[in-house]
C-alpha cells in the first residue's frame, strides 16, 4: 500500500496518485460489502485474486480493440491505471435473469434472455445506485446521448468477448457491471474492475443452483466457500489466458 495519502477510498479499492498526474495506482482490498454496504466482511486474498482476474480480462478486451485504463500490475494487489474522469453510471449487462432483474420483473432466475439487456444505474451510494431511465439519465446530465450510444456499443462488445472467453473456461457469464471513464484526450476507456465482485458467474456443467455459483452471491447470500469460488475463477481464467 502506498504511503501517499489516498485520492479516494471505495468499498473494495483505494486510489492513490503517482508522480505522473496522468497515472493512478489502484489498491485492491480484501473488504467485501453487499446491499450498499449494509453487509460487511472480508474475503481472504480477494484483492490479489480480483487484481489478477481484472488484469487478464482487461488485457483480453484491449487485444480485441476496446481501450481500457489498465497500464500494468506492479504488485499482486496493485494496478497502475490511466487517470480518467469516471462517468457516474454503472453499466450492467445481463444474459440470464438473476438478482435485481428477477426481483423487479418476476422473471424466474436462470431465464435465458432473448438478447443481452443493457441497463444504466446512477453511481451514487447515498441514493443506493438507482436504476435510471434514459430520460432520467439525460435529465441529470449523467452522460450525453453520444456517450450513452458508445457505452451501449462497448458494453455489448465486451459481453460478446467475455461470454466467449468464460465459455472456454467452463463458466457461464450471467451478468456483470462495468464502469467507464473519460481520459484527458476525451476518449472513453473501460475502467474499474471485472471480477467475481462485479459479475455473476456460474459453473457451466453444474446444475445445482447453489453449487454452481462462483461469484459474490456466495458472500451476499452466506453460501460459504467464497474464497474457494473466487480462486476457481482465477485458476480457470489463468489457464485459458
Ligand atoms: P443486480 O442483479 O444486483 O442488479 O446486479 C447486476 C450485476 O451487477 C451483478 O453481476 C453484480 C453487479 N453489481 C456490482 O458490481 N455492484 C453493485 O453495486 C451491484 C448492485 C451489482
Residue of 109, 177, 195, 215 to mutate, ligand 1, most atoms within 8 A of C-beta: 177
> How remote is the CA of residue 175 from the centroid of ligand 1, in Å?
8
Query: Does 3 score more than 90 pLDDT?
Result: no
R_g of the chain computed on alpha carbons: 17
Give the span between the Cα atoms of 109 and 235, in whole angstroms: 27
Whole-number percent of the chain with pLDDT over 90: 98
Of residues 102 and 1, more confidence is placed in 102
Ligand 1 environment, Cβ below 6 A: 92, 98-101, 129, 175-177, 198-200
Predicted TM-score (pTM) of the model is 0.97
Give the span between the Cα atoms of 159 and 154, in whole angstroms: 8
Query: Does 2 score more than 90 pLDDT?
Result: no
Amino acid at each position: 500500500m502506498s504511503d501517499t495519502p489516498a485520492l479516494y477510498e471505495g468499498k473494495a479499492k483505494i486510489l492513490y496518485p503517482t508522480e505522473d498526474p496522468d497515472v493512478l495506482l489502484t489498491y485492491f482490498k480484501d473488504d467485501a460489502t453487499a446491499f450498499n454496504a449494509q453487509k460487511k466482511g472480508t474475503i481472504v486474498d480477494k484483492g490479489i485474486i480480483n487484481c489478477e482476474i481484472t488484469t487478464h480480462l482487461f488485457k483480453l478486451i484491449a487485444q480485441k480493440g476496446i481501450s481500457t485504463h489498465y497500464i500494468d500490475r506492479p504488485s499482486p494487489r496493485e494496478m497502475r491505471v490511466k487517470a480518467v474522469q469516471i462517468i457516474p453510471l454503472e453499466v450492467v449487462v445481463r444474459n440470464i435473469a438473476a438478482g435485481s432483474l428477477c426481483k423487479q420483473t418476476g422473471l424466474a432466475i436462470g431465464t435465458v434472455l432473448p438478447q443481452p439487456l443493457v441497463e444504466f444505474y446512477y453511481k451514487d451510494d447515498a441514493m443506493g445506485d438507482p436504476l435510471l431511465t434514459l430520460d432520467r439519465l439525460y435529465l441529470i446530465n449523467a452522460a450525453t446521448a453520444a456517450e450513452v450510444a458508445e457505452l451501449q456499443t462497448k458494453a455489448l462488445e465486451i459481453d460478446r468477448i467475455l461470454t466467449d472467453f468464460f465459455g472456454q473456461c467452463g463458466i457461464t457469464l450471467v451478468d456483470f457491471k462495468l464502469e467507464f471513464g473519460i481520459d484527458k484526450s476525451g476518449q472513453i476507456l473501460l475502467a474499474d474492475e471485472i471480477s467475481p465482485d462485479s459479475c455473476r458467474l456460474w459453473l457451466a456443467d453444474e446444475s445445482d443452483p447453489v453449487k454452481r455459483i462462483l461469484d459474490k452471491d456466495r458472500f451476499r447470500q452466506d453460501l460459504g466457500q467464497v474464497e474457494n469460488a473466487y480462486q476457481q475463477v482465477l485458476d480457470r481464467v489463468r489457464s485459458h489466458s
